[in-house]
Structure 1
């Protein structure tokens, strides 16, 4: 596909996230990608925006999917069954492939109010019981693409000849884009990836249909699912305010029926019951 023929992304659907107060140690929650719409968001299942303090996400299990946790503010302390331990700060990301079993804790540090985005990403059936993987990605280790009026941090995937340090087991991209008022940039994305974005600050215009959204705005993008893996598309983004920042995620759809239930994501309800039986039988050892 030549540059002249490159598919230009438009915004399919867009909305503003609505928030609800929660009982302590939870503070507030909103759904960037609401649960129950995984067919539309495939390979993404849901994304929650949470404000919480220590004690909110203590020791708990997972099986059958992946998570990407982005820290907006505060600090998050993580411990897991792989022996991992670390503290993530604003702009840092943690990737988890729960695979056959994960058990971990994600806590606010001290008196911090942690503010995070957690994205759940599907796994194809043949990888549901794969090896458990955790990876912390710190902001300073993300390669930067600089351009007139802004920059893009590449967290996952290959963007503008830079490869992000996050190594997922399915093809995804994640990019954090900063633009000053009046600046414009076209983000290259694999044309066969389903994609969405979330505005973290400022005011921006997206796509060739010029959809304008401010902070807390989200949207899904057009794509060509049957295109080749090496074909690229472009998402044009323009800032209408100073210090505009957006996260853009993309992934190749899996197109398998799934059953998300509690902390598990499997292909059938029987597999969900197996996960609960294994957990209750002590087959999910606690974080080390």
Structure 2
């Protein structure tokens, strides 16, 4: 799953569970405060990344911090069956710590959230091999953004600003802002041009190695079979097998909402 999120207080995402996958939160504007039943708490600001491994179970909240609208992106990365019940954990990086590099001619800049690009490598460790890149191609750039992608991987491009052109000449295809383009398998990578004379192009390239296992999903739970989903619901409702701490925990955000009501 991949989604663009725009939220303003008092709305948000109060206490809710996850199991069986990872969430990647990449903030574009504003900030979000998160906390969980393990005692972890922090604020993700514009340009920051949080890579949360839900594993066998986590209950957390994500609420906008401060006035105005907070905007960001969230990607769900599936875990293989052997990793679905590992202990939960976090990898968090401030904007200044994200690996960033620019092409020699200054036309293309990339922030490397996961994987590697243009000689820069992300500090994020991924259990499911993943590529997550934030490209900016300046107006009148003489060359496109180019990135190799393993031919067997699934991949998509999401345009944040400007217009992305795939390929050159009359056969080139355009993708506008806030649109997503699925890329076919079998190629050796992607080439994206900015044809604008006055507007930069900013887009995300996300790719991952297919796990090749069945997927069963119910809301915030992603497992391999319906039986595992049923067991997960039971574990959550009975506070067992990874959800023990949920019995007596409420986030500060939830307690504040309770006080208002």
TM-score range (shorter-chain normalised) is 0.7 to 0.9
- Give the distance between the partners of 1:281 and 1:185, measured in 2 at CA: 50
What residue number does 1:200 align with? 160
TM-score (norm 2): 0.84
Please state whether the residue corresponding to 1:253 is helix, strand or coil.
Answer: coil
Alignment of 1:165 with 2:134, yes or no, is no
Deviations 1:230-259 (A, max 9, x none): xx9231111123221001111000121111
Which of 28, 38, 44 is the equivalent residue of 1:72? 28
Deviations 1:185-239 (A, max 9, x none): 2122233321111000011212475221121121111223xxxxxxx92311111
**Structure 2: 5+ residue runs without aligned partners?**
252-261
Deviates more, 1:170-179 or 1:128-137: 128-137
Verify the 8 A CA contact 2:77 2:128 in the aligned structure 1.
no
**How large is the RMSD of aligned CA atoms in angstroms?**
1.8
Deviations 1:148-185 (A, max 9, x none): 21211111112233210222211001110011113222
Q: Could you say which structure has the higher strand fraction?
A: 1
TM-score (norm 1): 0.77
- Give the distance between the partners of 2:43 and 2:7, measured in 1 at CA: 15
What residue number does 2:174 align with? 212
Q: Could you say which structure has the higher helix fraction?
A: 2
- Give the distance between the partners of 1:240 and 1:77, measured in 2 at CA: 38
What residue number does 2:228 align with? 271
Verify the 8 A CA contact 1:152 1:178 in the aligned structure 2.
yes
| Cα pair distance change 1:139/1:233, threshold 3 Å | farther
Alignment of 1:124 with 2:80, yes or no, is yes
Deviations 1:119-163 (A, max 9, x none): 111111111111212111222111122112121111111223321
Structure with the greater alpha carbon radius of gyration: 2
Deviations 1:25-56 (A, max 9, x none): xxxxxxxxxxxxxxxxxxxxx11222113442
Verify the 8 A CA contact 2:135 2:145 in the aligned structure 1.
no
Alignment of 1:48 with 2:20, yes or no, is no
Runs of 4+ in 1 over 3 A off after TM superposition: none
Query: Within 5 Å, which residues of 2 pair with 1:100-249?
Result: 100-147=56-103, 148=105, 149-183=107-141, 184-207=144-167, 210-224=172-186, 233-241=188-196, 242-249=199-206
